[in-house]
Amino acid sequence: MLNVWEYRSSYKEPEDFDDFWTSTIAEARQHELALTITPVETHLVTVEVFDVTFPGFGGHPIRAWLRLPKHRKGRLPAVVQFHGYASGRGAAVEDLLWSSAGYAHLFMDVRGQGGDWASGDTPDPVGSGPAYPGFLTRGIENRDEYFYRRVYTDAVRAVDTVRSLDFVDPERVAVIGNSQGAGIALAAAGLVPDLTAAHFQAPFLADIQQATRVVRTFPYEEITKYLAIHRNSVDRVWSTLAYFDGIAFARRAEAPAWFSAGQLDDVVPAQAVFGAYHEYWGPKQIRLWEHNGHEAGGAEDSAIALSAFARTLHSGQSHRNEE
């Protein structure tokens, strides 16, 4: 079995990677950060929930849940969370962990998704050319039109949104997610230079080309199926995906980060997670769950993140680089 602790990815980033993303984010930030924040009646005793809309890529309206501890004083540390593939932000009364722990918790809806195990409310007004069913191949032959260009930009604007709230401490903001959500969080960590902490559970969309070689499961299989038909598009596809690989964002991320991976994961292979981990620029730790699959550490990962964030976001202390 491959020793993932020694694995290093062969991914090479485009020379104009930084220029591409600098101009993309700058263009999005030209749209005024006009928010709508509407209280939601939930009958929860300890948590308040708000329905938030903010402008994402192209100024398109992006929905999110904002959950706050009902009894609070002073500015709160914040956690911005992103969900898994084909899912959505779900119901207002779900995902109460972080607000219960004393954080302002913004849970972003990924545009165009929400048809699988949790509902979503954010359409994607941008179409694409031919694509395999799913999201991975939408606009995949053109970096400017690729689906995740919009999603990653939405994620940056989600961080901008939570930092703009007068009850949030903008210097104590973390990003988290699992699977696709972890991939989006990793992109946000690379694009927003001054985050305080991050947690990436089995991050999808890192070391993408190698991952498609290793697994024959969806969602990565969407790329394989697309290329099986579009045989002359191989170079264009990999050229596009090079601008969206988590390894490039890991090289630019500075926040103390906690990674996790399942040794038996057949959706996001552990070596792809380690490919990003080994390239991560900031202080980092990782937990490899040898007998687990895509769930990685599950609730144990959440407990690790809660403990780590209590030290970094509540106390303001950071951790040394540790491998």
Q: Which residues contact 321 (CB under 8 A, 6 or more apart)?
A: 282, 283, 284
Instruction: Identify whether 230 is a catalytic site residue.
Output: no
Catalytic pick among 179, 199, 245, 278 = 179
Residue type (1 letter), 105: H
Distances in whole angstroms, Cα of residue 17 to Cα of each of 136, 142, 191, 211, 243: 20, 14, 11, 21, 6
Catalytic pick among 9, 265, 278, 301 = 265
Instruction: Identify whether 265 is a catalytic site residue.
Output: yes
Spatial distance between the Cα atoms of 174 and 176, rounded to a whole number of angstroms: 7
Q: What are phi and psi of 176, to 5 degrees?
A: -145, 165
- If one counts every other C-beta atom within 10 angstroms of the C-beta of residue 280, the result is 27
Burial of 240 (C-beta count, 10 Å sphere; 0-12/13-18/19+): buried
Instruction: Identify whether 260 is a catalytic site residue.
Output: no
Catalytic pick among 83, 199, 278, 294 = 294
For CA atoms 8, 10, 16, 21, the dihedral sign is negative
- List active site positions: 179, 265, 294
